[in-house]
Structure 1
Amino acid sequence: MNDSPYWAHISSSGQIQVLLDHLNGTACLARSFASSFGAEGQAELAALAHDIGKYSSSFQKRLRGESIQVDHSTAGAAECWKLRQPFAAFAVAGHHSGLPDGGSRTDTLDCATLYGRLKRKERGLLEPYESWKQELSLPEAQIPSFLKQPGPEWVFFTRMLYSCLVDADFLDTEAFMDGQKRMPNTPSMVQLLNRLQNYLSGWFPPKGYLNEQRCKILEQCVQSGEIQSPGLFSLTVPTGGGKTITSLAFAIAHARKYGLRRIIYVIPYTSIIEQTAQKFREVLGEEAVLEHHSNLTYDLEEEANPQTIRLAKATENWDMPVIVTTAVQFFESLYSCRSSQCRKLHNIADSVVIFDEAQMLPIPYLRPCVWAISQLVKNYKVSALLCTATQPALESIFQEFLPGSPIRELCPPGTYSQEAFRRVSFRRLGSLTWEDLATQMNSQRQALCIVNTRKSAQKVYQQLKGNGNFHLSTLMYPDHRRQQLNEIRERLNQGLPCRVVSTSLIEAGVDVDFPMVFRELSGLDSILQAAGRCNREGKKSAEESNVFIFEGEDKAPPLFSTAIGIGKQVMNHYEDIASQAAVHEYFSQLLDLKGKEALDKEQILYLLQNGFFPFRTVAERFHLIDSPTRTIYIPLGKGAELVEELRSGNISQKLFRKLGQYGVSVYEQHFTALENAGDLEILENGAAILLNSDLYSTETGLSLEADNGKALFV
C-alpha cells in the first residue's frame, strides 16, 4: 500500500485514496478515452496535472476536516501553461467549475478567465504545492496533427480533451468511493448484428410489392454499411420506407465492419424519442439501449434495481452501445462548458451518429450544428448519417466545412420504386374560414387537421360536432398529450369516429394513420411531414387518400412567413411537390434567402474563429430551443402530487424532470396575463403553478384566456 501523506479522497467508511494513486488511475482512463482521436499524451498530461494543487498543506488540512477554501485546479493549469500546453491547461482549470473563457492578458486576478486565474499563480496567491515534484513528473505531450494551425478546431479539441479528463476523474473517484469499478455488461456489435438479423428474419421473403421495396432499401443500406468507408452519409427515403430500422441496420453493419464503438441516434423532439427507443429495445434488448432526454427520469430510490442504476449512470457518460437522445442534448453538450454536459463527449468519437429528421435542425443554429458534425467526421472517427424523408440542401455548407468529402447517399435513385411509396394525393383548396374547415371535418368519420397556431387549433376544435373529436397542442402537458394519442390510435385501429385538430407537433414522426389530412399552408417540409400521417400503412390507394392544403383565416405567424412564401412558390412550379427536385429547390431557396448570418444568429462560429478559447461565452449563447416562454405546472393527476412535493420544499433536479411531464410552456404575455389575474403561484426559478384549475380543460389544455377574459394570444 502506498503510504504517501498526500491524500485525494476519504470515503464515507474512512478509507483513504492516496493522491498519486488517483492521478495515475485517472491518467490511465483518460489515455484510453483519448486514443480514438490520437490524444493519449494530452489526456495523460491533463490527468496527471489536474489535482496537483491537492499537494498543498492547506488542501490536506481541508481533507482532514478543517474548514479551508482551496483553489486546487489553477495549480495544475499553471503547470501545463508553463509547459506551453494550452489545451491541457484549460481542461485542468475547468475540471470542477467548468471550462473558462481564455480572456486576455489585461485581465485582473479576480477575473474568472484563464488569464485571470494564471495571474493568481504569478502573484503567489496560490497555496504552495511544490511537493508534487517529489512524487511524479509531467510528461511531454504531442499535439495531434490536425491541430497544427490555430483556429476553431483548437476549441473543439479542448472540449473533447476536457471530456476525457472529467469522465476519467469521475470514474476513478467513483470506483474508490464505491469500492468497485463500473462493469457495463453490454452486448458487442457482433451480438447486436445477430439480434438485428433475427428480428429482420421475418421480413424475408417479403410479402407484397411494398414490402419488397422496403427490403431493397434495407439490403442496399446494409451493403453500403459494409463497403463504404467511414464519413458523411445521407439516407433519403419516403415515409413508410422503414427509415428507422434501415438506418439502424446500416449503423450496426458499418460499426461492426470498421470497429466503431457505439451508435448514437439523434432525434429532433422528445415527442417521438420514446417510440424510437422502445423499438430499438424490442430489436436489440433492454440492456443495449440508453434513452437520454429531459422527459425521462431514472428512479434511484433504495428499491431501484441494478438495471435502472446502470442506465442512470450511463446518462452521465453515454457508455452504452446504442444511445437515443435529442438534438438539444447532443448539440448543446458539444457547445457546453460544464463538466456534467461535456463528460459524455469523448464517447461520441468512434461512433455512428444518425440525425433523424435532419431537416428539423433549427435554422438559426444550422451552421454551428453542421460545423460540429463536420468536426466529428473529420477528426474524431465519426460516421454521420443524415436521415430524413425530406433531405435538406446542406451540401454547400458541408462542402465548406468538409471540402473533398461529399455526402454519400445510401439509397441512390433506382434502388427502389418511388411510385410504391406514393400513398397520397395533394390537393389545394384555397382559402377556408375556420367554420368551413370544421364543416368539412364534421363530414368525415376519420380525419386529421393541422394548423399553424395553438389559438387556431382551439377555434377549429370548438366547432367540431359529435363524438370522437380530439385536440392536440403544446397547451396540453406532455402526459396529457400522450394519453390523448393513445386513445386516438385505439379509435383509428377500431374504425371508430376520430377527428383530430392539432398543431405541427403531430408531424414529427408521430405514428398515426388517417385516411384524410387537412394541412394549413406552411413550409413544404411541414406539408410533406403532415402527409406522412395520411394512409401511413398504405391500406388505400393514393388517389383516395387526400392531403388537402388550405389557407386559414388568420394571418400566418411571422416565424412561418418566409417558409410559407417559398413553399407556395415551389408548389406553383412543381406538379409533384413530394419529388426530390421540389424538396431540394425549397430548401435551397430557404437557406439562400436566409443568408449566412441567419444560419448562425448568435455568431458562434465567428466567436470560435476570433475569440481566445471563448468556452463560457459560446455556451451562454448556444441554446437550440430559443423561444421566450415560461413554464406553468398543472396540478392534475400525478402532477398534483409532484406540485405538493415542490411546495413542501423537497426541491431537486429529479423532481423538476418529473414535473416536466405536467408543464405547459407559454409566451411571456400569456404568462403575465395569468399572473396579473391571480391565476399563478410564481416559483423562485421563474416558473409557476396554475392555481385556477378551471383554466385547464381535459379537452384542449390550458386556456388562452385569463379569468378576466382579456388575454388572447397566438
Structure 2
Amino acid sequence: MPEKRPFAAHIREEDKEVQTVQQHLENVAELAKEFAMPFGAEDMAYQSGLAHDLGKFSAGFQHRIWDGGPKTDHSTAGAMEMKKLANNPCTLLPAYCIAGHHAGLMNGGGQQDDSETTGTLFGRLNKNLPQNYLVYKDFVQLKVPQPPRIKPLGRQGFSLSFLTRMLFSCLVDADFLDTDAFMKNHEIARGSGCSIKELSQKLDNYIHEKRWLDAKEGLNGKRSAILKMCIDTGDSAEKGLFTLTVPTGGGKTVSSLAFALHHAIKCGMKRVIYVIPYCSIIEQTVDNFVAILGKENVLAHYSGAQYDDQDEDMNEARLLTENWDMPVIVTTAVQFFESLFSNKTSACRKLHNIADSVVIFDEAQTLPLDYLQPCVDAIAELTVNYGTTCVLCTATQPALGKLFEVYAPALSAHEICPNTQELYSTFRRVRYEQLGVLTDEELTQRLNACSQVLCIVSTRKQAKNVYGLLEREGSFHLSTLMTPEHRRAVLKTIRERLKNHQQCRVVSTSLIEAGVDVDFPTVYRAYAGLDSEIQAGGRCNRENKRPLQDSVVYLFEPESKYKGSPAMKRPKEEALEAVRGKESIDAPDAVTEYFNLLYHDIGSALDVKEVVKGFEDGVRSHFSFPFKTAAENFHLIDSDTWTVLVPRDDRSREIAALFTQPAFHPDRRLYREMGQYCVNIYKNHFEELYPSLSMVGERFGILTVPELYDENTGLSFENDGGFGLIQ
C-alpha cells in the first residue's frame, strides 16, 4: 500500500523537503499578526494568515504540487471560508486580502457577480469549488476576527479600504518571507541595521563633530537654532502631524532627520522614512545620511519594478520585492503614494512597515493638485490610525489645513519652527527678475555670457536642446534619463568647479531645484509654480557669500514649442497672479496667497479620478471597494515606468552579466544596489528601445547598445518630449 503523502504547501527542489500546509499557514499567521500589532489589527491579520492557503488542501492543488498537474485556484477557498464565519467587515476585509494574496486586490463588484467573467471579490465568493479542501478543518480552526482599534475617518469607506490594504501588506509580506525562507532553506530574512537609539547617537556625534549647535550669530546661528528646535521638539512631542517651515538654506534635511530620530526614541518607533519629490535629491540625501548613519542603515528605494499579479505562482521576482525592513528609508513621493493606492502584491508588501514610523515629506508642496485630496487623506490615516508621525517639511508651506479639516477635523498640525517671518528675512539672499519670452538662442546667448550659471527648464526636450547650443567647455546637463550613479558623478564635478571658480554652466530639468546642494551666482528658471521658482532661488547664493543685488534669479517663458505637462498650467497661472503687486515673489504673504489660490477648490479638482469618493461610496454598496480601479487611476506622474539597466562602468557591467547567467538567483541586496545603474522610462520609450534590450523581467531590460546612452545627456530616444518628472 503506497505511503500517504502529507498535505504539502511547498516542496524544496534541492532536497525534496516538504513544508506542510498547516506549517505554512501557522507560520504566516504568526508573522502577519506581528506585522499588524502597531495598528491593533493583529487578530484580523492572524486569521487572514491562517486562512490564506486553505485551497492548498484541495485534491487539485495536491495533484499539482506532487504530480505536476495543472494550475489550480488555491486563494478563493480561504476567502469563502472567512466570509462564511460572519457577514460583517471583520470577515469581508480579510476575504479581500486572502482572495488577492497572489493576483492582487480586486474590485468588490456586485453581490450577484459571476465568478468566471467579472474578476471581482464577490464573483470569486460565488465560485463553485470542489469541496474536498474542507479537510482543512482537521488541521486549522478559524474564528471570527476581533475588530481592529482604528477610528474610522470621513464616511468610513476610505478608512476601511486603507485598513484592508495594510492587512493585505501584512499577509503578503508574511507569505513571501515564509515561502522564501523555506524554499532557500534559511532563517526568515529580517531587517538589518542599528537600532534607532544607536542611529540617533551617530547623528548626535556627527552634529557635535561639526559643532553645528555652537554657532550663535549670522546664518549659522539661525541654522543652529532651527536644529535645536527640531531636537527639542522631537524629544518632547507626542506622535502626530507636524509642519517644518524652514527657508531654503536653513539646513532642514539634517534638522528634520534629528527631529525624526529623537522623536522615534521618545515614542518607541521603529523607522524613519524620508519621502522626496525628485530622484536627484535621493542621491544627495542618501549620500548625506550614509555619511552620518552608515551604509548598512540606509535604504534608497527608487521606482522599483512591479509585477503583474496574474496567477497563483510564487516566483523569484515576487519573493525579492522590496519590503522596507531597514531603519532609514529614502524614497520618492511617487513610490510612496502609488504604493499606498496600489493593488499589486509587489507594491503593497512594504506598506505595513510605514506604521509606527516617522515619515518626513520633504518639499511637501510638490504633491500634484490632481491627487492632493487622496494624498492628504492617506497622511491623515497614517497619523490617526497607524501610529505614524508625519512631518510636512518645506521652505514654502502649502495651505493644507482645510483639506485635513474636511477629512479628519480633530487632526491639527504643529509647526516645529514657528518664527517663519523672521527666518524669511534672515535667509533672503536673492532677488528675482521677470524676462518674458526667451527663444533658445536668446537664452543660450545669456548663459554663454556667464562664467557660472544654472538654467532650469520644465521639459527634457528643452534641456537637451539648450545644452546642445552651449559652449562645450565647462557645460553640463542633468535629467532623469541619466542613471543615479551618473548624475551623482556629474554633480560632484559641478560642485568642484563651482568651488574652484572654474567655468560651470548647467542646464537641468527640475530635478535639481529642490534640496540639491549647489551654489550658483546666477540662476535662470522657466516659469513654473511659485514654490518651484522659489526652490530654484535656493540654488543661487546659497551660502550668502555675495551681495543680494548681485544674486539674481531670472524667470522666463520658453518658446511655445515646449508644451509643459498639463499639470504645470494652473500652478504657473496662479503664481503670476499671486506675485502681482508683491515686493518679492518669495515673501511669506505671496506664498500664502499662492497656495490659497491653488487650493481654493476643495472639490473634485483635487481628486480628479474620484479615488476617495469611490472608496467612501463602497460602504453603501456592501463594502464593495474599487481597489483595482483606484490603482489603475492613481498615478502621480500619469504613467507607468519601465526599468533599463545601463552597463556603463565595471560594476554595472558585472551586474548585467550576472543576470544573463541561466542559474543566477539575485538577492534583495543586489536589487537595491542595481537601482544606481538604472533609468526609469515610459512605456513608449521602452518599446522604442526594445530591439536594443536584453529582457530579464516583465518591465526590466538591460541595454545592449552602448551608443544609445550618451555620456552627456543619458539615454537617447528618437522622440522625447518628456517633462522630466519620472521619479
Instruction: State the TM bucket, normalised to the shorter chain.
Output: 0.7 to 0.9
**Cα distance in 2 between the residues matched to 1:423 and 1:172:** 55
**Cα distance in 1 between the residues matched to 2:502 and 2:549:** 23
1:323 is paired with a residue of what secondary structure? strand
* Aligned counterpart, 1:301: none
- Post-superposition CA distance 1:661-713 (Å, at most 9, x none): 46585796x999x89xxx9769997999999988876545577878xxxx999
- Post-superposition CA distance 1:25-45 (Å, at most 9, x none): 222222221111111221121
**Cα distance in 2 between the residues matched to 1:659 and 1:259:** 31
- Post-superposition CA distance 1:180-212 (Å, at most 9, x none): 233544322221221111111132322752111
Kept after mapping to 2: 8 A contact 1:350/1:381: yes
* Aligned counterpart, 2:8: 7
Shift of 1:270: 1.8
The 1:689–1:164 alpha-carbon spacing in structure 2 relative to 1, beyond 3 Å, is closer
AA aligned opposite 2:219:
L
**Cα distance in 1 between the residues matched to 2:191 and 2:707:** 49
Q: Which stretch has the larger CA shift, 10-19 or 276-285?
A: 10-19
Counterpart pick for 2:246 among 229, 237, 252: 237
The 1:184–1:643 alpha-carbon spacing in structure 2 relative to 1, beyond 3 Å, is closer
- Post-superposition CA distance 1:600-634 (Å, at most 9, x none): 22221122122412111111222222159998998
* Aligned counterpart, 1:209: 218
* Aligned counterpart, 1:621: 633
The 1:77–1:660 alpha-carbon spacing in structure 2 relative to 1, beyond 3 Å, is same
Kept after mapping to 1: 8 A contact 2:305/2:643: no
Kept after mapping to 2: 8 A contact 1:476/1:664: no
Shift of 1:546: 1.6
AA aligned opposite 1:615:
F
2:126 is paired with a residue of what secondary structure? helix
Kept after mapping to 2: 8 A contact 1:91/1:99: yes
Aligned residue pairs, count: 685
2:244 is paired with a residue of what secondary structure? strand
> Does residue 1:134 correspond to 2:146, yes or no?
no
* Aligned counterpart, 2:553: 547
Counterpart pick for 1:193 among 190, 200, 212: 200
2:43 is paired with a residue of what secondary structure? helix
* Aligned counterpart, 2:388: 382
**Cα distance in 2 between the residues matched to 1:249 and 1:5:** 54
1:513 is paired with a residue of what secondary structure? coil
- Post-superposition CA distance 1:565-596 (Å, at most 9, x none): 22222222221321222112112212336x63
AA aligned opposite 1:535:
N
The 1:117–1:428 alpha-carbon spacing in structure 2 relative to 1, beyond 3 Å, is closer
* Aligned counterpart, 2:530: 524
Kept after mapping to 1: 8 A contact 2:39/2:149: no
1:385 is paired with a residue of what secondary structure? strand
> Does residue 1:144 correspond to 2:148, yes or no?
yes
1:128 is paired with a residue of what secondary structure? helix
> Does residue 1:397 correspond to 2:411, yes or no?
no
**Cα distance in 1 between the residues matched to 2:534 and 2:123:** 53
* Aligned counterpart, 2:312: none
AA aligned opposite 1:175:
A
Shift of 1:500: 1.9
Shift of 1:48: 1.4
The 1:72–1:553 alpha-carbon spacing in structure 2 relative to 1, beyond 3 Å, is closer
Shift of 1:409: 0.9
The 1:582–1:634 alpha-carbon spacing in structure 2 relative to 1, beyond 3 Å, is same
The 1:20–1:626 alpha-carbon spacing in structure 2 relative to 1, beyond 3 Å, is same
- Post-superposition CA distance 1:121-142 (Å, at most 9, x none): xx4x335122222223212322
**Cα distance in 2 between the residues matched to 1:53 and 1:313:** 20
Gaps of 5+ in 2: 307-317, 619-623
Counterpart pick for 2:606 among 599, 612, 617: 599
AA aligned opposite 2:573:
G
2:390 is paired with a residue of what secondary structure? strand
**Cα distance in 2 between the residues matched to 1:158 and 1:435:** 55
Q: Which stretch has the larger CA shift, 695-704 or 265-274?
A: 695-704
**Cα distance in 2 between the residues matched to 1:23 and 1:691:** 44
The 1:286–1:631 alpha-carbon spacing in structure 2 relative to 1, beyond 3 Å, is closer
Kept after mapping to 2: 8 A contact 1:680/1:688: no
AA aligned opposite 1:134:
D
- Post-superposition CA distance 1:345-369 (Å, at most 9, x none): 1111111111111111122211111
1:499 is paired with a residue of what secondary structure? strand
Higher relative contact order (CA 8 A, sep 6+): 2
**Cα distance in 2 between the residues matched to 1:32 and 1:564:** 47
**Cα distance in 2 between the residues matched to 1:667 and 1:32:** 38
* Aligned counterpart, 1:471: 477
Kept after mapping to 1: 8 A contact 2:106/2:627: yes
Q: Which stretch has the larger CA shift, 334-343 or 453-462?
A: 453-462
Gaps of 5+ in 1: 298-311
Counterpart pick for 1:65 among 64, 67, 83: 67
**Cα distance in 2 between the residues matched to 1:192 and 1:531:** 33
Kept after mapping to 2: 8 A contact 1:295/1:661: no
1:367 is paired with a residue of what secondary structure? helix
AA aligned opposite 1:256:
I
**Cα distance in 2 between the residues matched to 1:314 and 1:263:** 22
**Cα distance in 2 between the residues matched to 1:57 and 1:345:** 34
**Cα distance in 2 between the residues matched to 1:628 and 1:72:** 30
1:129 is paired with a residue of what secondary structure? helix
Kept after mapping to 1: 8 A contact 2:213/2:228: no
* Aligned counterpart, 1:164: 170
The 1:460–1:180 alpha-carbon spacing in structure 2 relative to 1, beyond 3 Å, is closer
> Does residue 1:503 correspond to 2:509, yes or no?
yes
AA aligned opposite 2:433:
R
**Cα distance in 2 between the residues matched to 1:319 and 1:462:** 43
Shift of 1:76: 1.1
- Post-superposition CA distance 1:232-276 (Å, at most 9, x none): 111110111111111111111111111111111111122211221
**Cα distance in 1 between the residues matched to 2:471 and 2:58:** 76
AA aligned opposite 1:576:
S
**Cα distance in 2 between the residues matched to 1:314 and 1:628:** 20
* Aligned counterpart, 2:449: 443
The 1:31–1:713 alpha-carbon spacing in structure 2 relative to 1, beyond 3 Å, is closer
Kept after mapping to 1: 8 A contact 2:216/2:222: no
**Cα distance in 2 between the residues matched to 1:634 and 1:240:** 34
**Cα distance in 1 between the residues matched to 2:635 and 2:376:** 15
The 1:319–1:463 alpha-carbon spacing in structure 2 relative to 1, beyond 3 Å, is closer
**Cα distance in 1 between the residues matched to 2:536 and 2:465:** 20
2:600 is paired with a residue of what secondary structure? helix
The 1:606–1:133 alpha-carbon spacing in structure 2 relative to 1, beyond 3 Å, is same
State, as a whole percentage, how many aligned pairs show the same letter.
47
Shift of 1:224: 1.3
1:64 is paired with a residue of what secondary structure? helix
AA aligned opposite 1:562:
R
**Cα distance in 1 between the residues matched to 2:196 and 2:249:** 27
> Does residue 1:586 correspond to 2:594, yes or no?
yes
* Aligned counterpart, 2:55: 53
Shift of 1:415: 9.5
**Cα distance in 2 between the residues matched to 1:337 and 1:196:** 37
2:542 is paired with a residue of what secondary structure? coil
The 1:270–1:126 alpha-carbon spacing in structure 2 relative to 1, beyond 3 Å, is farther
1:426 is paired with a residue of what secondary structure? strand
Kept after mapping to 2: 8 A contact 1:95/1:339: yes
- The TM-score with structure 2 as length reference comes to 0.84
Superposed, 1:553-592 pairs within 5 Å as: 553-554=559-560, 557=563, 559=566, 560-592=568-600
**Cα distance in 2 between the residues matched to 1:645 and 1:18:** 34
Q: Which stretch has the larger CA shift, 646-655 or 224-233?
A: 646-655
Shift of 1:550: 3.0
AA aligned opposite 2:427:
F
The 1:415–1:18 alpha-carbon spacing in structure 2 relative to 1, beyond 3 Å, is farther
AA aligned opposite 1:16:
V
**Cα distance in 2 between the residues matched to 1:210 and 1:228:** 27
Superposed, 1:691-706 pairs within 5 Å as: 698-700=711-713
Q: RMSD across aligned C-alpha pairs, in angstroms?
A: 3.7
